[in-house]
Structure 1
Amino acid sequence: MIRVMAPDLPTPSGGIKVIYNYVEHLVALGHDARVWHGTPGFAYPGWGSTAPVDTGLALPFAAGDVLVMPETGGGRWAGLNPGVPTVMLCQGMDFVFADADFLRDVPGDYPGWPQATCALGVSDAIVTFLQHACPPGFPVHAVPVEIEQWFVPLEKERRLALMPRRRREDLIGAVQLLRRSGRLDGWEIVLVDGMTQAQVAEELGRAAIFLFGAEREGFGLPGAEAMAAGCYVVGFTGDGAKEYLTPDVASVVLDSDVVGMAEATLAAMDAFDHDRSSLQARVELGRSRVLERHSSAAVREALGRAFEVITAPGSPSLVDGPTTVAHYMSRGPRYGRAGAAYVGARRLAGAARRRLGRG
């Protein structure tokens, strides 16, 4: 059995969605795979995932089982199950050294996790980062994130879509510059927030342009989803999105360059109105790239390769005998300190980083 531990967040984040998607694919590949939440009976009501779910503060593992843990707070959770071999799922570089400081080394081939046997990286940027953070020979498996099939272009309208929670200050600055330009007549600004995945896909499908407030991204799924939905993307890479957000298919903005974002958006608006064919050619090229690399087939193939190694007889990732394994929730209230760390780490660090950069 393969169990993927997941923080008990009140609503499913992008990282949680990746976990569920991976488990669905592992089941399709013939593995007995489960998402593992800590709160007994935990579930996301109305969510359509078919991934099997186990719940409990601690669960029995048998010889040959595999534990996968997402990176949420550096090595602070390594003591939860110190004797259990662990496959690390890394969805963000900033999580890896989250509890480190400047004046001490971090132990373990995988930073902070002496029991880690290998890692799964969800983007080119993460795989490169882990190859530098871990010693030569430590297995790092590249497994892409899937872009769901409902992200498709609809009839495009003069709409600028954005997600207001990340890089809020920068996005507000850029939008206010657009408003002051006097060139927004007939264009609608759409805030994509508090929506179901189907509603998000519909809004992106209708929007001509997506303003991407990427920051400290492992991959930057919203930008890729916008490309799949046929948007022209203007925004930051947040590092993780640089594998698909490139100048030939999008307007890549320098970090916190609010003026650059506004100017690139105005240029894209003008192209949409007066040179649609040239803009559409770039949109189609970007869309074809993300769909090729992040299709269901690509994700399943990569997971199949990785877990063929991870579950092979004699693999160091296999639990070597019956044991009881604890969940994050056994150490924290509500949805756990791990959940709080998962949600809050980027937000707090990002705000501090912007304050320091602008001081």
Structure 2
Amino acid sequence: MGLEDQARRAYRAVRRYRQPPPAKIRLRDRQTTPPTVYYLCPDYDTPSGGVRTLYRHVDVLNDAGIPAALMHHRKGFRCGWFPHRTRVTDVASSPLGPDDLLVLPETEARLFPRLPPGLRHLIFNQSGHLTWDVDAERVSRHHRESPDLVGVLVASEHTRDLLEHAFGQPVHRVRPSVDPLLFAPPERANGRTISYLPRRGRSDVENALHILRARGVLADWVVDPVDGVPQHEVARRLRASTIFLTCSYQEGFGLPAAEAMATGNYVIGFHGYGGREFFDPSYSAPVPTGDLLGLSRTVEEVLARESAEPGWCFSRGLRAAAHVRAEYSPERERDSILAALKSVGFAS
């Protein structure tokens, strides 16, 4: 088993066994409030694109006039690692009515047998590859047999194909978005900086960098591991970067790579399957997953090209930024969320 595989298993074990017992979700006999969409969210106050997406969905719905709230397990808990204006509640304070809709992340599969009968719910599966991590047979049975499961949402074409193949049921794609105010390209090409996120595919990125240093090709380049900083600082450092390395093995979408593209980076690495839809070879350099030799060779070739033609990376980064900012705009995200709710028959 490789180091990356071990790291993924360790991460999953922490998420699976160190979470507090789930609070009991209650269903009232009658509707006493306007029909509301509740997004259940893990009490997880560490930077996570998936959690940030749940918060953003709630904001999108409220802005569109559809009552929505982010629901945590613990009373008084809310994420503090990014600024937000999201309406937040908790399970104990918000029993649901028969006309409400609960949206569950796929990581909350432990709650499936505890849901009250008659509670309409969606599963928002952002990862795809984590679907069967907790009680796989129960998860599959719930998808196939639950009369209260009204639909499944996903963040990428790859995850839609995966789940439709697994369960034989239609799946609704909701588009992620890249914040166009935060993640925008600089006006001119930067110096020579290579960035990456250590929490994603760290061992492969750093091994490739060791190879490149041994070959003497990084002498004129700064390497910036962007980690443990607020979202606005991530965006600032990506704008100051020329090349972004990504080595995620299995992604539901791969938002960091998309955000790096939006800031004008030339992105090199593994698309993680979920990111295949935006990893275009005309403005990025996809490398077969796990191919350390291919990764190091590709980076070296790109560095040589940039040295021979200064601005080569930035010209392609601008094309990547234009594509990502158009395809994954807040407007397209909003439209896809509203269309998904309409398709499952929710009316506020």
AA aligned opposite 2:252: G
Name the SS of the counterpart of 1:267 in structure 2. Answer: helix
> Distance between the aligned counterparts of 1:105 and 1:51, measured in 2?
30
User: Measured at CA, do residues 112 and 18 of structure 1 come closer, stay the same or move farther in structure 2, by a change above 3 Å?
Assistant: farther
> Distance between the aligned counterparts of 2:346 and 2:200, measured in 1?
41
- Which of residues 68, 88, 109 is equivalent to 2:123? 88
Range that drifts further, 263-272 or 198-207: 263-272
**How many positions carry a matched residue from both structures?**
309
Residue by residue over 1:196-249, the C-alpha shift from the partner in whole angstroms, topping out at 9 and shown as x without a partner, is 111110111111100112121000111000000100001001111101113222
> Distance between the aligned counterparts of 1:111 and 1:215, measured in 2?
28
CA shift, 1:282, in A, is 2.7
> Distance between the aligned counterparts of 2:123 and 2:139, measured in 1?
20
AA aligned opposite 2:172: H
Is the Cα–Cα contact under 8 Å of residues 185 and 318 in structure 2 kept in the other structure? Answer: no
- Which of residues 220, 243, 250 is equivalent to 2:254? 220
> Distance between the aligned counterparts of 2:124 and 2:183, measured in 1?
25
Is the Cα–Cα contact under 8 Å of residues 161 and 209 in structure 1 kept in the other structure? Answer: yes
Name the SS of the counterpart of 1:118 in structure 2. Answer: strand
AA aligned opposite 1:153: P
For structure 2, list consecutive stretches of 5 or more residues without a partner in the other structure.
1-35
- Which of residues 30, 33, 51 is equivalent to 2:68? 33
Name the SS of the counterpart of 2:61 in structure 1. Answer: helix
AA aligned opposite 2:154: G
TM-score relative to the length of structure 2: 0.83
- Which of residues 167, 177, 185 is equivalent to 2:211? 177
- Which of residues 48, 52, 63 is equivalent to 1:17? 52
Name the SS of the counterpart of 2:141 in structure 1. Answer: coil
CA shift, 1:255, in A, is 1.6
Aligned counterpart, 1:130: 163
AA aligned opposite 2:148: Q
TM-score relative to the length of structure 1: 0.80
AA aligned opposite 1:203: R
For structure 1, list consecutive stretches of 5 or more residues without a partner in the other structure.
319-359
User: Measured at CA, do residues 167 and 47 of structure 1 come closer, stay the same or move farther in structure 2, by a change above 3 Å?
Assistant: closer
% same residue: 29
User: Measured at CA, do residues 231 and 178 of structure 1 come closer, stay the same or move farther in structure 2, by a change above 3 Å?
Assistant: same
Aligned counterpart, 1:141: 172
> Distance between the aligned counterparts of 2:240 and 2:336, measured in 1?
32
Is the Cα–Cα contact under 8 Å of residues 235 and 253 in structure 1 kept in the other structure? Answer: yes
Name the SS of the counterpart of 1:160 in structure 2. Answer: strand
Name the SS of the counterpart of 2:107 in structure 1. Answer: coil
AA aligned opposite 1:248: S
Residue by residue over 1:292-320, the C-alpha shift from the partner in whole angstroms, topping out at 9 and shown as x without a partner, is 1110110011112112233446xxxx9xx
Is the Cα–Cα contact under 8 Å of residues 234 and 252 in structure 1 kept in the other structure? Answer: yes
**Higher RCO by CA contacts (8 Å cutoff, separation 6 or greater):** 1
> Distance between the aligned counterparts of 1:105 and 1:67, measured in 2?
17
